[in-house]
Chains A and B, each alone.
Chain A
Amino acid sequence: MNHGNALSLVSEGQRAGLLDQREAVRIQYEFLELLQELIGRYTQGESSSVSVDTAERLLASAVYAVDAHLKSLKAPGEAIAALKSADIRTLHAQGVERIRQVLEEVRRLYLEVRKNRLDVPVDAYNATIDEALPAFLKKYDILFDAHNTMASIDYPLAVDDMRLQGVFYIKQYLERLHIEDQFCRQWERDELIRLLENYGRVCRFDYRIELFNIFELVFHHALFSVLSGGDVRRILISPVQYARLEHLFIHADAAAVEAMIPRAVDGLLEQLPPQEPGTEDYLKQCCPDLVRRIVNAAEHRNLQAVIIADRQERVSPAVISLKPGGGMSDARLRRLLDDIGNSESTEDKVRLIRENFQSLHDYLDLLESGCLYGEEYEALYDAFGEMELAVLCKIVFREELRGGTAELADIIREREETEHEWQHQLIEYMKRQDDRRIRTVDEWIGRIDYEDISFY
């Protein structure tokens, strides 16, 4: 169902001479009678007036239902014929019934999607399946608010049609999500998670809390695998494959890439088992975007942000003294904070901290407790190695580091506002460091995964 509606159809019908003035007024009057009836049902007969907002919502809901019926009539001219021959109340009742059927279909689709969901720690994806969609199914109001999509769906699809509303939007969303998930399920989970981790590392963000489409990433890398002569069952691109792809794209013009990608899709589909209905079309719809991205990245020589190469080495959180999780008890933390506060010299404070604090969580409690002053921060940061500074910088500059292109030195220079004193002191401290140390910290930032340092 698109955004055109029965009332505009009346105006258009009049302009085209398909409806006369008398018929148009009759239809409008019947809509008003329907609205009156809906107001009565909405207020359960207790109020003859409602706020204009409520009236508009009730009318939009009624028009949506009539549209639901009219759009189900396939032959051209049938909608106008229905408006001419049937009264609006009947068309509305038929539309409400159609919406009810679609809602049932949506419930069934939702169960299917939930059953076949991907096992990935991506918040937006999981919250959409666990919270937003059930909230829609619980709250959707067929009669009084049918046009309202009333769901805060955060997880973006690869191809979305936001012109749809209400239950028709959710139906389309679920159908497409189903295609996407079924496609992604053809690769091993470990492979998928590793691709996600690599993606987060390259873009310097925590993929678990970012809004991005998983399917697109998988689809693109499956294509890259085919294009670089790799195994279709692999979506991890080795450095050798990456080099091959880089050579391929840099030496191809836009037209060549445009021809190459759909061919690669055909190649991919030939090698994969038969797909869910609609998958092939869906993949083809994703091609133009991918072509533009490749052409643009090849032109600017930053294909590494489009083709995520797999990197073997990875910093284990164990080697970082700021380890995630495993914090001390509140009582012990309070005692230590008191001791630190009572220490007379900066050296004593730093020693107490270095001897007793290991977990990142505890370090943040310490830094945010305000028990250090001015130069004491500098003494503590001085005691840290580059890896530890990288972890703290990754927290403070989380937003600026997203996307993965900015240099740490520039970020430090430009950043002024901070939430906490320790962050302000860290920025000032980093500004005083020489280029070589900042570069080393920057390199560490690129190597530490967010999943290893998340603690909030």
Chain B
Amino acid sequence: MNQLSRLLTTLSLAAREQHLVQLLELNERTAQFGLTLAPEDVRQLMAARSETLRHYGRLETGIEATKELIEAFAESPFINRDNYVSALHELQELFYHLKNETEDEIGDSRLIEIMRDCFDRECGGSLELLRDKMEEYAAAYRFEAMRERLDEGEDDE
């Protein structure tokens, strides 16, 4: 395997504990909505994240995106104690999928904001609907980006 994965393998153990602590610290903020994660929840969420990143061919050295997802969706009226952990798993997977589908053109915060807005408004808290709507959004985004690129190409000529 290449030098990048060797580097990451050497260092992933050290980072894992650090990530656990950072995510557990978020409980202090989400507790006001009655939502907290147990250490085991965090471990599973991190394991799922690693698998998702691997599956989508992405690399993330920190856990900023997961932290932002937790903070944004904990405020949603459609997230409660019963669906919190499973929703985070789904949202995390959808987020990285959308990063690829929008060709990294949309920043993390903006993408999470769009997801949260769509989830609360158009989808009425349905994760299934959110996935469909966001797929449509990503396709339209790619089409628009391609048209812009073609226009720019024509201008260059």
Contact = CB atoms under 8 A, between A and B. Distances in A.
- A and B found bound together: yes
A49 interface: yes
Contact of B7 (A32, A48, A49, A52): A32
Interface stretch (B54-62, B113-121, B137-145): B54-62
Interface in B39-74: 53, 57-65
Given A25-B10, A43-B104, A49 B3 contact: no
B101 to A, nearest CB: 12
B96 A43 contact: no
18 contacts: A8-B3, A32-B8, A36-B61, A39-B61, A47-B99, A48-B60, A48-B63, A49-B60, A49-B65, A50-B58, A50-B104, A52-B59, A54-B59, A55-B59, A56-B2, A59-B3, A59-B4, A59-B7
B77 interface: no
Contact of B107 (A47, A53, A54): A47
B107 A55 contact: no
Contacts of B104: 43, 47, 50-51, 54
Contacts of A8: 3
Contact of A48 (B4, B62, B110): B62
Majority-rule SS of A interface residues: helix
Contacts of A32: 7-8, 11, 61
Interface string B109-151: 1100000000000000000000000000000000000000000
B10 A28 contact: yes
Interface string A1-40: 0000101100000000000000001001101100110010
B10 A55 contact: no
A297 B138 CA distance: 63
**Closest 6 pairs between A and B when the two form their complex, measured CB to CB:** A46-B107, A49-B60, A48-B64, A55-B59, A36-B61, A52-B57
Nearest to A42: B104
B108 interface: yes
A51 B7 contact: no
Contacts of A46: 107-110
Nearest to A5: B3
A309 B53 CA distance: 65
